[in-house]
């Protein structure tokens, strides 16, 4: 199934990341072009937080781009294993299980990292809006 849950989940995360990235870049552009910024500590803190948020968003986006095909490949491997031949030896079956397990562990780590980055991005953007930039 091409429109599986995995694609929808990863696609929606990517869309939200992109929307927030565009919003932050636009906010930084407005801050720097209007001249409101000056040398105030509030403005310097805001620009710094915007830069950190943008960097985290880019990192999360890259991880999502890496994760999508990995999750699709894992899904395809599960389907192939269900259709595997009865002629496969126990060693081959065990090797395939080990490969699936290691892929799942790495995918879970990437997912967890993206979740943590998303949480940090949300907190940073709450602070940015809270200081009124």
- Give the rounded distance of the alpha carbon of 46 from its chain centre: 23
* pLDDT in single tens digits along all 133 residues of the chain: 444 665 666 666 667 777 888 888 888 887 777 766 666 777 788 888 999 999 999 999 898 888 887 777 666 666 665 556 556 677 777 787 787 788 888 888 988 999 999 999 999 989 988 877 7
Question: pTM value?
Answer: 0.71
The structural domains of the chain, with segments of one domain joined by +, span 5-72+90-130
Q: Which two tokens stand for residue 133?
A: 């930039």
Cα 60 to Cα 117: distance, rounded to the nearest angstrom: 6
Radius of gyration of the chain (CA): 21
* DSSP symbol at 35: S
Grouping H, G, I as helix, E, B as strand and the rest as coil, residue 37 is coil
Cα 123 to Cα 41: distance, rounded to the nearest angstrom: 20
């Amino acid at each position: 199934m091409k429109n599986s849950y995995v694609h929808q989940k990863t696609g929606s995360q990517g869309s939200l990341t992109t929307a927030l990235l565009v919003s932050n870049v636009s906010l930084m552009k407005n801050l720097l072009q209007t001249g409101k910024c000056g040398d105030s500590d509030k403005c310097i803190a805001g620009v710094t937080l915007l830069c950190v948020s943008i960097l985290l968003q880019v990192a999360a986006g890259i991880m999502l781009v890496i994760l999508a095909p990995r999750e699709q490949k894992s899904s395809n491997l599960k389907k192939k294993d269900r259709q595997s031949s009865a002629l496969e030896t126990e060693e081959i079956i065990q090797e395939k299980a080990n490969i699936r397990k290691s892929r799942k562990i790495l995918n879970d780590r990437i997912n967890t990292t993206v979740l943590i980055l998303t949480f940090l991005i949300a907190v940073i953007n709450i602070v940015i809006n809270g200081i009124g930039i």
